[in-house]
Amino acid sequence: MSVHTDIKKITTHTLQEMKRKGEKISMLTAYDYSLAKIIDTAGMDVILVGDSASNVMAGHETTLPITLDQMIYHAASVVRAVHRALVVVDLPFGSYQGNSKEALNSAIRIMKETGAHAVKMEGGREIKEAVERILTAGIPVMGHLGLTPQSIYKFGTYVVRAKEEQEAHRLQEDALLLEDIGCFSIVLEKIPAKLATEVSASLKIPTIGIGAGNGTDGQVLVLHDMLGINKDFNPRFLRRYMNLFEEIQNATEQYIRDVKSKDFPNEKEQY
Ligand code: KIV
């Protein structure tokens, strides 16, 4: 018998139930086996293999350069570690916007080659056809509205989105459209808390916020930001739970000192 049969896996259905009961949904990103194992063991509900891997893992300035093959590599590593959480994978820039057939092929590759449970896509009405085609194949889709980093060159800046009436209204319509066509959840990124609360109340499917206040059905952060590995990113919405940059730097400096002083390895650390 498998050692994991007693673990109740989180499904898209579980998330709908959590919203119905008013239980908040926790979500963090992960891109590799080791950290995914820790956060799954801690009891995370959803693990997002975000295209923020382009920034935090590869050092790119935006999420645009990461490829489908690279996302598949990260996602497969995460899936190997996870026993409980729902694993959602970002479709990267350029793998779905062009045409719906290409979008379906990209989503199928992710599901087949990684074992993940769902995909996430940025945008509203402009990607409707692609979302519908992927859903038709039985692949669950999480939407993403508000600040959508794959469109950063269109926005020109990472400031809060949908502060103006017209954009707020469009976002509300897009959220209803994504629910209507069958998305199981929607990420709301960097929009006013009041708008995020209203959108969340208007939907049956759960919303997951980042920089969108406390009225969403769940919260997501980028793991490297909340662990303080990435010191240079300091938006108002980010709560840091550790200062790993300094802790790792201190440990590394101590190791260098131990090697240079011939303290490491000692008698007990050799054969
Ligand atoms: O790629 C990512 O990490 C994301 C989250 C910020 C929601 O899309």
189 carries an active-site annotation: yes
- Whether 90 lines ligand 1, by a CB cut-off of 6 Å, is yes
Locate all alpha helices (DSSP H) within 115-243, ordered by sequence: 128-136, 152-155, 165-181, 193-202, 223-226
Ligand 1, atom 1: closest residue by C-alpha: 50
What pLDDT does residue 7 have?
Answer: 82
What pLDDT does residue 1 have?
Answer: 46
Q: Best of 46, 52, 151 to mutate for ligand 1, by most ligand atoms within 8 A of CB?
A: 52
For 33, the 3-state DSSP assignment is helix
What pLDDT does residue 5 have?
Answer: 55
Ligand 1, atom 5: closest residue by C-alpha: 50
**Cα-trace Rg, the chain:** 20
Q: Which of 102, 189, 247, 253 is catalytic?
A: 189
What pLDDT does residue 189 have?
Answer: 98
221 Cα nearest atom in ligand 1: 6
For residue range 84-138, list pLDDT tens digits in order: 999 999 999 999 998 999 999 999 999 999 999 999 999 999 999 999 999 999 9
The letter for the amino acid at 77 is S
Give residue 23 CA to ligand 1 midpoint distance, Å.
Answer: 22
For 173, the 3-state DSSP assignment is helix
**Which stretches of the chain drop beneath a pLDDT of 70?**
1-6
Note if the pTM is more than 0.85.
yes
- Whether 210 lines ligand 1, by a CB cut-off of 6 Å, is yes
- Whether 50 lines ligand 1, by a CB cut-off of 6 Å, is yes
What pLDDT does residue 2 have?
Answer: 46
**Cα(209)–Cα(254) distance, integer angstroms:** 39
Locate all alpha helices (DSSP H) within the chain, ordered by sequence: 12-21, 33-41, 53-56, 68-81, 100-114, 128-136, 152-155, 165-181, 193-202, 223-226, 244-260
